[in-house]
Chains A and B, each alone.
Chain A
């Protein structure tokens, strides 16, 4: 596919171009963010005052389940992966990912997973077990109907996509780096993408297994979580959180990576302590596998277990703190240009710290006995998930938007968006700390008068509306820029990494000629005094020059292909069939098999033209 800009639905269905797949991921992920956001709004409406009956209990339970599940799996993850897709190949000087068709496949199964989950809405069968679906509440005896099956199957199928994506990016980053791009020269976002890919590969299988157990218990009468048969329902909690905790770091580390690239850019200063920031990321990921029990302190696993996992959890504060302090040190003595991206970056440092600190309060097992399953926890994780992940993603959005579209967003509207979001976050979620400590359990569709919770909940609800408001300048900004945005040029922010050497938007082959790298922050090479050079850098050399407009020799790019879509459709059919139609499952299996073989025997790379 050499015709630079193929258009039309067909070209989107068959695309294997990482930049287009990134756009697909972003649009779908953002749509899910809005949907889940609306669900959050409805939750807040119900809780605005005590004993309201705006939502009935069952609907409320379905809403917070859908809200949490959607936000984590169908908004957070895809938005993260959208950035992996767009940025990583550009930052390492590659023309695409290692397996372009696998990349497309990952997107399609993710999309189908999300659509499948939301098919439960028109059918009025939304899952209602909470996003971690504790057994035995979720076994057929207490959760009849298909609700929980929608949850299980949707996460199983989209999990396949996640694992495929992790595989793809791990190989891409290990294998597709431009000549001279050693590990210690990789931009921080690429580093975090590498770590997160590994996390995905190691964290999802246990969840997959847990979901399969749950599916079998529900559909085939097995006894994995059946106390009466000698099993222990707590095993589900272990399997979920063995995955669940790494999952939250899957959501935060990319945000950390984005911020670690943006803060230096807008401080005009190279990252302070690059190796330490990288290593602390690795450490966070590693420790993340040894702390899962901190979600289960009230289960009664005994003093030794709680002490060990409490201690391990506290440790994570250290590498995270290192990142925070290194970011501040990067800004120290810099020339801070407060473009929107920079505001979101600084906003992340400010608000994530609050969430992190409440996390540390949880990490003390006895103290957590008064916090767990209350709004104190809800406050914690919204501070880290919004003040961390969402702010980080918006930061990246404002940073790379010009690169992706070739247009500049409007700064004024951007700033309005930031300040509204920043205000909303604190107004909505800070009061929840008090609500929690004053005795408000989470997942309660109402609360009694006279517990002293009314005022805090009212403030939270008001904050949620400011949140919705904060999307107005964003949407307006997009619309305006789409109508008439100034051209961006190659490197509007005077940033230091490879993606800024090529055109905005980049040609489908990314780089006319693969750049050679001989240092970190190659584009800043002229400004960096020798004594400030990192180990990664070599004296002399030259910054990679601006990419030529036309490739010197013809570039062979991967062919578009239908088969990833076919394969994904096959898996979707199997999933739907699993709701109760063996025939459909088998048919799906057939389609999957056909897709697989056709894929295997289709030549991945085309010659020029056609």
Chain B
């Protein structure tokens, strides 16, 4: 039944883009909330007491590079070069994990510095915004891992390049969101 489509774009790919369009509103609202409440926090600690730019720059860089790994994985699977596919896929997932590790460390640090989720307006907006993004990254890592497993079991090759491409779209979007958060939360502190 999944024959040629009216637009020529495969259904699942179109769906992923549509989903991404919808996600824009999700993160848009979260970002709007964060920006509106910027500087309205009444109870210490305040953002500039805690945010650690150099540290977050590193994890940001890692996530950015994971996007490169992702496209390379796609290129590889399209060439049906499965060894490379495995390599790049695992690196993408790994970089994602590193980013998550960084976020875990950051959250943990904040909590110890006296900023639990319920502490003040800053903690509320910061944790929910970055947490939502983190959850998206985690989801992506799991998704990539399943692809990796399927490649290792020889269940995924050039014929499934589309599947990898779609996972990639999701991954890049999550990366794009972080590009924005990095600037708005950390650099414009």
Contact = CB atoms under 8 A, between A and B. Distances in A.
Q: Do chains A and B touch in the complex (CB under 8 A)?
A: yes
A605 interface: yes
B45 to A, nearest CB: 14
Given A206-B29, A229-B120, A605-B1, A181 B6 contact: yes
Q: In terms of DSSP, what is the predominant structure of the interface of chain A?
A: helix
Contacts of B37: 230-231
A536 interface: no
Contacts of B41: 229-230
A34 to B, nearest CB: 32
Given A174-B7, A175-B14, A556 B1 contact: yes
A174 B36 CA distance: 37
Q: In terms of DSSP, what is the predominant structure of the interface of chain B?
A: helix
B33 interface: yes
Contacts of A220: 117-118
Interface in A223-254: 223-224, 226, 228-232, 235, 239, 242
Interface stretch (A91-99, A139-147, A273-281, A347-355): A91-99
Given A201-B21, A216-B124, A222 B14 contact: no
Contacts of A232: 36, 40
Interface residues of B, number: 35
A216 B5 CA distance: 42
Contacts of B22: 163, 166-167, 201-202, 204-205
A231 B7 CA distance: 46
A455 to B, nearest CB: 46
Contacts of A210: 29
Contact of B121 (A167, A230, A605): A230
A176 interface: yes
A1 to B, nearest CB: 12
A208 interface: yes
A167 B15 contact: yes
B5 A239 contact: no
B138 to A, nearest CB: 12
A226 B15 CA distance: 38
B40 A174 contact: no
Nearest to B2: A605
Interface string B13-33: 011001101110110111001
B188 interface: no
Contact of A224 (B7, B28, B125): B125
A489 to B, nearest CB: 28
B11 interface: yes
A232 B30 CA distance: 15
B56 to A, nearest CB: 22
Given A176-B6, A201-B21, A202-B22, A99 B15 contact: yes
A235 B35 CA distance: 12
B187 interface: no
Interface string A426-451: 00000000000000000000000000
Nearest to B8: A175
Contacts of A213: 33, 128
Contacts of B25: 201-203, 205-206
A184 to B, nearest CB: 13
B18 A171 contact: yes
Given A176-B6, A209-B29, A221-B118, A167 B19 contact: yes
A229 B128 contact: no
B26 A229 contact: no
A171 B5 CA distance: 10
B128 A212 contact: yes
Contacts of B9: 175
B128 A230 contact: no
Contacts of A600: 146
B1 A222 contact: no
A256 to B, nearest CB: 23
A213 B123 CA distance: 13
A538 B43 CA distance: 69
B122 to A, nearest CB: 9
A155 to B, nearest CB: 15
B33 A235 contact: yes
A98 B128 contact: no
B151 to A, nearest CB: 15
A343 interface: no
A222 B14 CA distance: 37
A229 B42 contact: yes
A329 to B, nearest CB: 31
Contact of B1 (A95, A171, A239): A95
A560 interface: no
Nearest to A172: B11
A558 interface: yes
Nearest to B11: A98
B96 to A, nearest CB: 18
Contacts of B118: 220-223
Contacts of A223: 118, 120-121, 124
Given A231-B40, A605-B1, A205 B26 contact: yes
Contacts of A385: none
Contacts of B128: 212-213, 216, 222, 224
A230 B15 contact: no
A205 B5 CA distance: 28
B18 A170 contact: yes
Which of B11, B22, B30 has the most A CB atoms < 10 Å from its CB?
B22
B14 to A, nearest CB: 5
A91 to B, nearest CB: 14
Interface in B101-121: 117-118, 120-121
Q: Which 7 A-B pairs have the closest CB atoms?
A: A221-B118, A222-B124, A205-B25, A205-B26, A175-B5, A230-B42, A201-B22
26 contacts: A99-B11, A166-B22, A168-B15, A171-B11, A174-B6, A174-B7, A176-B11, A202-B22, A202-B25, A204-B22, A206-B25, A209-B33, A213-B33, A220-B117, A223-B124, A224-B128, A228-B42, A229-B41, A229-B42, A229-B120, A229-B121, A231-B121, A231-B124, A239-B29, A597-B146, A600-B146
Given A226-B121, A231-B124, 17 more contacts: A163-B22, A167-B18, A176-B6, A201-B22, A204-B22, A205-B25, A206-B28, A209-B26, A220-B118, A223-B121, A224-B121, A224-B128, A229-B41, A230-B40, A230-B41, A232-B40, A605-B1
